[in-house]
């Protein structure tokens, strides 16, 4: 299976994760609209998990928040460091969320941009459990590719893209609700190799099931139109804990 670094740097358009690109600026504008409406749920200290190139972490630091950004990819963090507004804010940490222990308290934990797709429901439950006693608010943005129709709409959206011959994608329809995943196959002729990568599928039902079992309470769930023109429904959730 392809390493996550290789996946992002060969398949994804990296510009979407950086604030000094046109695509990144558009993504940031979308977040700013959400932030403007729901700023009350962003406390002084914010933990941005799967922070990527610092697009949101750096914005929140400029807005006066104390921010810690965590990501697995050092290449992303290097770019985030380059663009951060202050020497010590945000603080960036390289870590695998499957193992990352949160050692300090935050007012808000943010997981933005469908990053939860990197984690199975079981792994996600472990991450949420470690978050629970360290924050008051948890904010998630994610796509509902389950309801979108994995073997129907999603397959039609994915398969056959990249007609230039540089990239061919296919999907595996083995959704079982537990070890749920989509596998992308990418053939890049110039590299003469096939990249495979697992993406876990979630929807509002699975997210609610996990978080309610861990004693989180849903404050609001709002639909968004963020996911790349696929037509898949997507949401921003704001959850709270008893902390």
What's residue 229's pLDDT?
57
Model pLDDT, residue 232: 79
For the chain, percent of residues with pLDDT exceeding 90: 50
In terms of Cβ atoms closer than 10 Å to its own Cβ (0-12, 13-18, 19+), residue 170 is middle
Q: Using alpha carbons, list the distances in angstroms from residue 198 to 2, 159, 183, 193.
A: 9, 16, 5, 17
Low-confidence spans in the chain with pLDDT less than 50: 1, 162-168, 173, 175
- Beta strand spans in 50-85 (E): 66-71
pLDDT digits (tens, 9 = 90+) for 146-184: 777 665 666 666 555 544 444 445 555 454 555 555 555
Domain hosting residue 131, numbered range:
4-145+202-240
| 94 and 213 co-located in one domain | yes
pLDDT reported for residue 166: 46
172 and 64, same structural domain?
Answer: no
Question: Alpha-carbon distance 157 to 231, whole Å?
Answer: 9
CA dist., res. 42 & res. 91, Å (int): 17
Kind and range of the H or E run holding 32: helix 22-37
So what's the pLDDT on residue 17? 75
**52 and 125 share one domain:** yes
Return the SS3 of 140. Answer: strand
Distance CA 183, CA 189 (A): 19
Whether 14 and 121 map to the same domain: the answer is: yes
Check residue 121 and give its pLDDT. 87
pLDDT for the residue numbered 146: 78
Stated pTM of the model: 0.86
3-class secondary-structure state, position 33: helix
Same domain, 20 and 107: yes
The string of pLDDT tens digits covering residues 54-65 is: 999 999 999 999
What per-residue confidence (pLDDT) applies to 68? 98
Can you give the pLDDT at residue 19? Answer: 76
**So what's the pLDDT on residue 201?**
79
From 196, 211, 231, the end of a domain falls on: 196
Grouping H, G, I as helix, E, B as strand and the rest as coil, residue 71 is: strand
- Whether 88 and 186 map to the same domain: the answer is no
| Residue 32: Cβ within 10 Å count | 13
Residue 37 has what pLDDT? 95
In a shared domain, residues 218 and 141: yes
If asked whether residues 56 and 174 sit together in one domain, one would say no
Residue 220's beta-bridge partner residues? 238
169 and 79 share one domain: no
């Amino acid at each position: 299976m392809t390493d996550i670094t290789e996946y992002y740097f060969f398949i994804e358009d990296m510009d979407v994760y950086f604030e000094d690109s046109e695509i990144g600026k558009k993504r940031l504008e979308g977040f700013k609209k959400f932030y403007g409406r729901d700023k009350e749920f962003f406390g002084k200290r914010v933990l941005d998990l799967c922070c990527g190139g610092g697009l949101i972490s750096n914005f929140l630091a400029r807005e006066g928040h104390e921010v810690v950004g965590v990501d697995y990819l050092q290449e992303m963090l290097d770019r985030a460091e380059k663009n951060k507004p202050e020497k010590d804010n945000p603080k960036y940490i390289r870590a695998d969320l499957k193992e990352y222990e949160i050692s300090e308290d935050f007012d808000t934990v943010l997981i933005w941009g469908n990053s939860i797709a990197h984690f199975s429901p079981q792994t996600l439950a472990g991450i949420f459990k470690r978050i629970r006693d360290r924050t008051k608010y948890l904010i998630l943005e994610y796509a509902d590719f389950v309801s979108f129709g994995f073997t129907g709409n999603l397959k039609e959206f994915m398969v056959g893209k990249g007609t230039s011959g540089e990239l061919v994608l296919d999907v595996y329809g083995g959704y079982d609700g537990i070890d749920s995943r989509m596998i992308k196959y990418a053939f890049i002729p110039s590299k003469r190799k096939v990249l495979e990568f697992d993406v876990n599928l979630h929807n509002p039902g699975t997210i609610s099931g996990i978080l309610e079992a861990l004693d989180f309470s849903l404050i609001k769930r709002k639909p968004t139109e963020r996911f790349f023109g696929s037509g898949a429904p997507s949401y921003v959730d704001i959850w709270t804990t008893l902390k």
